[in-house]
Amino acid sequence: MEINPIPVLTIQTVPYEDQKPGSNGFRKSTTMFESKKNYLQNFIQSVLSSIDLRDRQGCTMVVGSDGRYFSKTAIEIIVQMAAANGIGRLIIGQNGLLSTPAVSCIIRKIKAIGGIILTASHNPGGPGGDFGIKFNVANGGPAPDTVTDKIFQISKTIEEYAICPDLRIDLSRVGRQEFDLENKFKPFRVEIVDSVDVYLNMLRTLFDMNAIKSLLTGPDQLKIRIDAMNGVMGPYVRRILCDELGAPANSAMNCVPLEDFGGQYPDPNLTYATGLLEAMKGGEHGFGAAFDADGDRYMILGENGFFVNPSDSLAVIAANLSCIPYFRQMGVRGFGRSMPTSTALDRVAKAMKVPVYETPTGWKYFANLMDSGRCSLCGEESFGTGSDHLREKDGLWSVLIWLSIMAARKQTIEEIVQDHWAKFGRHYYCRFDYEALDPRTAIFIMKDLEAAITEKSFANQKFAVGSHVFSVEKTDSFEYVDPVDGTVSKKQGLRIIFADGARIIFRISASGTMGTTLRIYAESYEKDPSNHNKEPQTVLGPLIAIALKLSQIHERTGRKGPTVIT
Ligand code: G16
């Protein structure tokens, strides 16, 4: 029986003004995607149109999701639009599931032109939650500003999109599916792949898997507890940590991906990963970790719930890279951290005599550094670490790094961190988030702050809080010049740096979905080991008091405190 080719249609549409990608991807409430006509189609067409027609024709793209509500509907539309826009082949995770690091890994391995990941990261999911679209380019990393600016421009003038509405795929069946389209010489091909295989194969080349396996199964077996938070990481945790590395099945919790993440925030921090924290407080487990919905963020806990701050995690990893075969082989060229991330990394870099690049927030800024061979390890205060093995932060890779360090040093998490502080000093750190503020109020707070701190007289200011006097050394509105291509990124946060190295930073988040989120970051340095075991918020209290006074954020927003503290 002859099968008729699938029709390719052009549909008229009306542009939206608000489809601007943020720190990594485009995020809005699920309701907007479900209720606004062509809201998803407009954005996807803008992404596809941002790729030069000659590069797009017949190319390969990767598609995955963190399994949140609306992902399967969106994947079906993306497949229909990709086919109609001349993409030759799509690689899709089985049942639509691929973690963000796995997408980066597959793009690089098969030399795809890029990939689309349906996720709003750590934001809640479900009909009342958030939905999002990340777009990664050929190096496997998040689209850079030049690309996201182009996507935004197209989205503001878009008049039509192309689609094959009759094209249907089976997401559950691993293997190839081919389709003949009208006006196409070659068939359009979809390949459904196992979500874990390619990523696991990559990890095997980076780590001493036997050393980790011995740690998890040997006579002094380390008991671990891993929380996949009902996001995409469940299958990865089970396959890699349990099946491959021998951790008992009950080490893994919340490993079934759920469309609404079980009604929880899939956000690996002390506020939301409370199930893990409680389990760790029991003292039975020596290592705990949680991931966000798409698996690029992670949190590490030691025995009894000892919390490893993400900035410390980055610095400890940097100082122990020689425990990892990949870095012993490749060497260490340089480090990267986002500006608000604590300067703990800088002390390690100084000792190792390698450069540190201080970038704006957003993983995309690290990709250029890595592509040009300048940078081996990067990290952010927002619970992300990664290396040049990919162009994304990588949660499970970070967990394997920590387990490798434990195996090599034969120490507990707390001992490793305490030793690090004893050697380099401790950078106390915390972040206050004021979420869902009125955008105008937030912008005016930042404008007034910028005017105040960049005034000449501010440079000599001293702030006395209790017995402590903080002398201002430098203030600015952070600006980054990419050392590779000279691109300038302005207004990336307001910095107040004090003479003793303490810092206060104010920044507007670019990843929220409701109103505006203003973040205040505070950091102070303590060299004396006898002062290394204090509560961060107590130590940072005076700096926070200065930040609140300068910004008047409570008075101007009516808030009594931050929404979340990390
Ligand atoms: C994204 C970016 C990160 C950034 C984080 C928070 O992460 O990839 O580089 O640090 O957002 O950004 P902001 O402070 O602007 O909200 P993810 O894990 O949410 O994709």
SS3 category, 313: helix
Tell how far the Cα of 22 is from the centroid of ligand 1, in angstroms: 8
Q: Is the model's pLDDT at 91 over the cut of 70?
A: yes
Q: Which CATH superfamily is domain 426-565 in?
A: Alpha-D-phosphohexomutase, C-terminal domain (3.30.310.50)
Q: Name the residue at shortest CA distance from atom 4 of ligand 1.
A: 362
The answer to whether domain 9-191 and domain 199-424 are alike in fold is: yes
Q: What is the pLDDT of residue 517?
A: 94
**Confidence band of 22 (pLDDT split at 50, 70, 90):** confident
Q: What is the pLDDT of residue 2?
A: 57
Q: Name the residue at shortest CA distance from atom 14 of ligand 1.
A: 509
**Confidence band of 561 (pLDDT split at 50, 70, 90):** confident
Distance CA(50)–CA(135), nearest Å, equals: 11
Mean pLDDT of the chain: 94
In this structure, the residues whose C-beta lies within 6 A of any atom of ligand 1 are 23-24, 121-122, 296-297, 361-363, 380, 382, 509-511
Q: Classify residue 310 by burial, with Cβ atoms within 10 Å: 0-12, 13-18, 19+.
A: buried
Mutate to test the pocket of ligand 1, among 23, 513, 514 (most ligand atoms within 8 A of CB): 23
pLDDT mean over 309-336:
96
Q: Name the residue at shortest CA distance from atom 13 of ligand 1.
A: 509
pLDDT mean over 262-280:
94
Domain extents for the chain?
A: 9-191, 199-424, 426-565
Q: Which CATH number describes the domain made up of 9-191?
A: 3.40.120.10
Q: Is the model's pLDDT at 425 over the cut of 90?
A: yes
Q: What is the pLDDT of residue 183?
A: 72
pTM beyond 0.85, yes or no: yes
Which residues sit opposite 380 in a β-bridge?
A: 384
Q: Name the residue at shortest CA distance from atom 7 of ligand 1.
A: 24
pLDDT mean over 60-82:
98
Q: For 340-393, write each residue's pLDDT tens digit.
A: 999 999 999 999 999 999 999 999 999 999 999 999 999 999 999 999 999 999
- Fold entry, domain 199-424: Alpha-D-Glucose-1,6-Bisphosphate; Chain A, domain 3 (3.40.120)
Q: Report strand pairing: 252-253 vs 224-227.
A: parallel
Tell how far the Cα of 23 is from the centroid of ligand 1, in angstroms: 5
Q: What is the pLDDT of residue 544?
A: 95
Cβ partners under 8 Å of residue 419, min gap 6: 411
Tell how far the Cα of 270 is from the centroid of ligand 1, in angstroms: 17
Cβ partners under 8 Å of residue 280, min gap 6: 225, 288, 301, 302, 303, 304, 305
Percent of the chain at pLDDT above 90?
Answer: 89
Tell how far the Cα of 540 is from the centroid of ligand 1, in angstroms: 24
**Number of the ligand 1 atom closest to the C-alpha atom of 508:** 15
Distance CA(525)–CA(503), nearest Å, equals: 9
CB count in 10 Å sphere of residue 166: 14
**Number of the ligand 1 atom closest to the C-alpha atom of 382:** 10
CB count in 10 Å sphere of residue 173: 11
Are 144 and 90 in contact, with CB atoms under 8 Å apart? no
Tell how far the Cα of 530 is from the centroid of ligand 1, in angstroms: 34
Tell how far the Cα of 351 is from the centroid of ligand 1, in angstroms: 29
Q: How far apart are the first and last CA of the chain?
A: 62
Active site residues: 121
* Poorest-pLDDT segment among 58-72, 459-473, 502-516: 459-473
Q: Is the model's pLDDT at 326 over the cut of 70?
A: yes
Q: What is the pLDDT of residue 185?
A: 65
Which residues sit opposite 494 in a β-bridge?
A: 477, 506
Mutate to test the pocket of ligand 1, among 27, 233, 363, 369 (most ligand atoms within 8 A of CB): 363
**Confidence band of 247 (pLDDT split at 50, 70, 90):** very high
Q: What is the pLDDT of residue 459?
A: 82
pLDDT mean over 118-122:
96
Percent of the chain at pLDDT above 70?
Answer: 99
Are 465 and 546 in contact, with CB atoms under 8 Å apart? yes
